Amino acid sequence: MSLEKRLRALIADGHDAAPVRVSLAQACLGRGDAADALEHLDKAVALDPDYTVAWKILGRALHQDGRDEEAGRAWRRGLELARAHGDRQAEREMQVFLKRLERR
């Protein structure tokens, strides 16, 4: 069974959580399906609005879907959370993503 199918089975079995949704979204992005990924990322940030990684991946999915303004908003929110929680790696990554986005 593929990772994506296992993650979907976890959710179907009632083990829904932001990290599971983010992992599923990353699998969707890996196969080029930003729309499916966005559905799971929206649920992830609803389940845990303080989950920095969800905001980082949400920005990536929005950017992949051509929605750069929304991607910037997601990364800025994620950057705020990363700073508040001391998540230096996520902070640095989102700063880079935002700089690249602003140069366009």
Q: What is the pLDDT of residue 104?
A: 79
Residue type, 81: L
> What pTM value is reported for the model?
0.93
CATH code of the domain in which 37 resides:
1.25.40.10
In this prediction, residues 51-74 reach a mean pLDDT of 96
**Number of Cα atoms under 13 Å in the Cβ half of residue 31:** 12
Task: For the chain, give the percent of residues with pLDDT over 90.
Answer: 97
Tokens of 102: 């602003």
Residue 21: give the domain boundaries: 3-103
Is the per-residue pLDDT at 51 higher than 90? Answer: yes
Q: Domain total for the chain?
A: 1
